[in-house]
Amino acid sequence: MIFILETSQIPEFRESISLSTCSYRKIDLYDREVYFTWGGELEIEDKDIIRIPSDGRLVLSSRSWKEEDTVVDVSGVKIGGKDIVVAAGPCSVESEDQLEETAKEVKRAGASMLRGGVFKPRTSPYSFQGLGVKGLEMLIEAGQEMEMPIVTEILDIEAARNHGNKIDMIQVGSRNGQNYPLLRYLGTSGKPVLLKNGMGNTVDEWLSSSEYILSNGNGNVVICYRGVRSFESGTRFSMDIGSIANVKMHSHLPVAADPSHPAGKRKYVENLALGALAAGADMLEIEVHANPETALSDKDQQLHPNEFASLMNKVRKLSEALGRGVWKN
Ligand code: PEP
Ligand code: MN
């Protein structure tokens, strides 16, 4: 059973559980105490305490116990509030010059966070694997210079342990969307996490992944839709904006969208980005490269800086029509 307690309910519950024979684990989440209990006998008199059977259904990510939107603070940038947040930057950090030029361009166009891959999860082991720690140092420096929090993917617990504290937001990529040991570890870290959906996952499976992080006490989760594999080959992945509307309705977590990977080609990125915002996304993560034709990864889908600037103009107009704004640092 899962018990979710308001502050006033805590003293009585603590006393009951101390007298009971059940096993339990406790976390603090969004100013509530959450108890997971197993076996034994537990008598709880307060009927108002939220209790949910722990039978595999979605719990902590759901609006059924937390109606209000969660806002995740990434080093001062607030994701999930009125303003739409845009993170942009190259698929991979390739050199100081490439990163610096790209970071300047995306900042000028209005992005408030800097993305850049350094530990790359490439399909082929013979493809560029990223600059690793050297690339991370470049990304950290560029983020500081531009005053933009950074978001970057880590692939394993070791990297999270060694580098997590230097990264503003840790990205869990599609290929690691169901890496439960990694998700559990990030749950204990408290760091903001950008959790992408596994490319073969349903919405329920994706939200269940978020519950691995939440149930270990980290409420700073933004879920990021990046499309799924389907029979369609016109785009690289299928971006179902219905899934964005669905998670927005059922989960209190902020929702991001990555239109770059499902597009596969830069000409589709703008329309997918605007569609995702219209469907309710709170954040966009977009790949931009100062000179995409020379990129070492995902060169067909990364936007030229002028294309990104033109997209940002439309994002501003659309956000106004939606009664929202665009976050500025
Ligand atoms: C990326 O953001 O560079 C990336 C690899 O994305 P995904 O995990 O969605 O494929
Ligand atoms: Mn990429």
CATH number at residue 260: 3.20.20.70
* Same-domain check for residues 248 and 117: yes
Which domain range does residue 24 map to?
A: 2-52
* Neighbouring-strand partners of residue 195: 172, 223
pLDDT score recorded for residue 197 = 98
pLDDT of residue 179: 98
CB of residue 196 inside a 6 A radius of ligand 1: yes
- For residue 84, the SS3 value is strand
Ligand 1 touching residue 121 (CB < 6 A): yes
Domains of the chain: total: 2
Tell whether ligand 1 has an atom less than 6 A from the beta carbon of residue 247.
no
Q: Which residue matches tokens 């698929």?
A: 91
- 33 and 136 inside one domain: no
Q: Is 226 in the pocket of ligand 1 (CB under 6 A)?
A: yes
Q: Are residues 134 and 179 in the same domain?
A: yes
Q: Do residues 179 and 227 both lie within one domain?
A: yes
**Is residue 269 included in any domain, yes or no?**
yes
Q: How remote is the CA of residue 117 from the centroid of ligand 1, in Å?
A: 8
**Residue 57 resides in a domain:** no
Average pLDDT over residues 171-198: 98
CA diameter of the chain: 67
pLDDT, residue 185, reads 98
Give the pLDDT confidence of 198-248 residue by residue, as tens digits.
Answer: 999 999 999 999 999 999 999 999 999 999 999 999 999 999 999 999 999
Ligand with an atom nearest the CA of residue 119: 1
Q: How far is the CA of 64 from the centre of ligand 2 (A)?
A: 35
Do 25 and 121 fall within a single domain? no
pLDDT at 54 (0 to 100): 82
The verdict on 198 and 316 lying in the same domain is: yes
Structure tokens at 57: 């259904």
**For residue 109, what are its two tokens?**
């166009």
109 shares its domain with 215: yes
Dist. CA 273–CA 305, nearest whole Å: 16
C-beta of 91 in contact with ligand 1 (< 6 A):
yes
Residue 66 domain-assigned?
no
In a domain, 179, yes or no: yes
147 CB-side CA count, 13 A: 5
pLDDT of 55 reads: 84
Selection from 172, 173, 152 nearest residue 163 by Cα: 152
* Cα(20) to centroid(ligand 1), Å: 46
Backbone angle region of 277, left / alpha / beta, with phi > 0 → left and psi within -120 to 50 → alpha: alpha
Regarding whether 44 and 139 lie in a shared domain, the answer is no
Residue 224 Cα: closest atom of ligand 1: 9
pLDDT digits (tens, 9 = 90+) for 110-156: 999 999 999 999 999 999 999 999 999 999 999 999 999 999 999 99
Is residue 60, in this structure, part of any structural domain at all?
A: no
Residue 59 lies in a domain: no
Q: Does the structure show a pLDDT above 90 at 181?
A: yes
262 C-beta closer than 6 A to ligand 1: no
Residue 188 maps to a domain: yes
